[in-house]
């Protein structure tokens, strides 16, 4: 598909592969990497990222929903895929036929799924999800685990592949809650009659901070894309994370306006003197949240602020002097000695870089 609009996101797949390879050198040799590519690869493109991660040595990939898993299969990804969220029981037979692993938290669900797959050509691969303290999904006690084990042992086409949990506070300075969750998780893992072959607990933060929790596999999500899970983790990184994403556009229109002129909806910016104003073809429909008014962009290696209300498809910037239309503009990324990061956007918006990454709109083409 041809792209005529100058607004684009550049995704450096080599950076993603370097992050994964550096992680492998850091982890115990026996620990596999599950590359997390949910939410369209955190906005980077799930199929392209999955392929790059597998080429770099990822054991498998994981997503949040059945539809994401199907999109990967349709995109040619043949490696194992784990759906970490809950799936409708009617998806069980499709998952078995396509080799998609499902998270299971409830014996009743698994009992129904066993009926769907009892005559399938392939077994349904499951990972038992344990809630060790996140409070989201997952079984919480020995009785619930025993019920699931009973269903597995009574079924002919259910294969127990793994067990996992998710840490709630691993990106924080205090390690006590993560240690408590890990211990609780391992207590329940010990209740399996036979230990599942793939036990995994660590998200990106725990992976980077606590190699002692690596187990059989880690789930590497936000760190895969070169973004630290939190400011604290960013100060403790065992290796450099290489950022994979840049967001660029160009000056579409440049004009000089007089003192006292108002800019954009509501006239929220008023010029204080004769000023050069540039228009950029990017707006909140592309993920440039309206709360980013005042945020800098980079033009010619210099910072220049967005002024006035951000529109759906366009926004305006204050220029120090005249620039030609077509001048490159970087919204996320580096020009010369200056860099604007997703973390900077997140701080301005009062959120986390995860949210910034996944809200860059789909109409912004990803260039690999």
CA 251 to chain centre: 30
Q: Give the number of other CB atoms < 10 A from CB of residue 347.
A: 13
Read off the tokens for 296. Answer: 């800098």
Backbone angles phi, psi at 22, to 5 degrees: -65, -35
Give just the sign of the alpha carbon dihedral 14, 17, 23, 25. negative
Residue from 232, 265, 269, 284 carrying the catalytic annotation: 265
Q: What angle do CA 22, 27, 31 make, to 5 degrees?
A: 120
Dihedral sign computed on CA atoms, order 179, 59, 231, 210:
positive
318 is catalytic: no
Distance in angstroms (rounded) separating the CA atoms of residues 321 and 309: 21
Angle between helical axes of 107-117 and 142-153 (0-180°, round to 10): 10
Residue 280 CA to residue 307 CA, distance in Å, equals 11
Q: Tell me the two tokens of residue 219.
A: 């789930």
Please state whether 41 falls in left (phi above 0), alpha (psi between -120 and 50) or beta: left
Kindly list the distances between the CA atom of residue 56 and the CA atoms of 14, 20, 41, 230, in Å, as whole numbers in the listed order.
9, 7, 16, 25
Tokens coding 45 = 């493109």
* Annotation marks residue 116 as catalytic: no
Given 38, 116, 210, 284, the catalytic residue: 38
> Which residues does the annotation mark as catalytic?
38, 265
């Amino acid at each position: 598909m041809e792209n005529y609009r100058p607004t684009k996101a550049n995704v450096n797949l080599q950076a993603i592969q370097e992050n994964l390879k550096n992680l492998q050198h850091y982890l115990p040799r026996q620990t596999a990497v599950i590359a997390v590519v949910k939410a369209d690869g955190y906005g980077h493109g799930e199929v392209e990222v999955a392929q790059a991660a597998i080429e770099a040595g990822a054991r498998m990939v994981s997503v949040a929903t059945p539809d994401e898993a199907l999109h990967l299969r349709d995109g040619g990804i043949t490696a194992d895929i784990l759906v970490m969220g809950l799936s409708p029981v009617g998806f069980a037979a499709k998952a078995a036929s396509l080799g998609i692993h499902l998270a299971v938290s409830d014996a009743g669900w698994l009992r129904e799924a066993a009926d769907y797959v009892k005559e399938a050509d392939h077994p349904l691969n499951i990972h038992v999800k344990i809630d060790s303290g996140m409070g989201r999904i997952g079984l919480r006690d020995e009785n619930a685990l025993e019920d699931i084990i009973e269903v597995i042992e009574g079924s002919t086409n259910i294969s127990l592949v793994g067990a996992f949990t998710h840490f709630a506070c691993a990106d924080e300075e205090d390690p006590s809650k993560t240690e408590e969750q890990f211990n609780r998780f391992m207590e329940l893992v010990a209740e399996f009659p036979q230990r599942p072959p793939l036990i995994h607990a660590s998200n990106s933060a725990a992976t980077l901070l606590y190699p002692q929790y690596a187990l059989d596999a880690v789930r590497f999500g936000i760190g895969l894309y070169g973004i630290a899970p939190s400011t604290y983790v960013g100060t403790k990184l065992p290796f450099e994370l290489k950022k994979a994403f840049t967001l660029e556009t160009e000056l579409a229109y440049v004009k000089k306006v007089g003192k006292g002129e108002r800019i954009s909806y509501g006239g929220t910016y008023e010029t204080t003197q004769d000023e050069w104003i540039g228009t950029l073809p990017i707006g909140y429909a592309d993920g440039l949240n309206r709360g980013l008014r005042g945020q800098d962009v980079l033009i010619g290696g210099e910072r220049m602020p967005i002024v006035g209300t951000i529109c759906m498809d366009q926004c305006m910037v204050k220029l120090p002097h005249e620039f030609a239309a077509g001048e490159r503009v970087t919204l996320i990324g580096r020009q010369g000695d200056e860099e604007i990061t997703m973390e900077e956007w997140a701080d301005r918006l009062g959120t986390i870089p995860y949210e910034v990454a996944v809200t860059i709109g789909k109409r912004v083409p990803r260039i690999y």
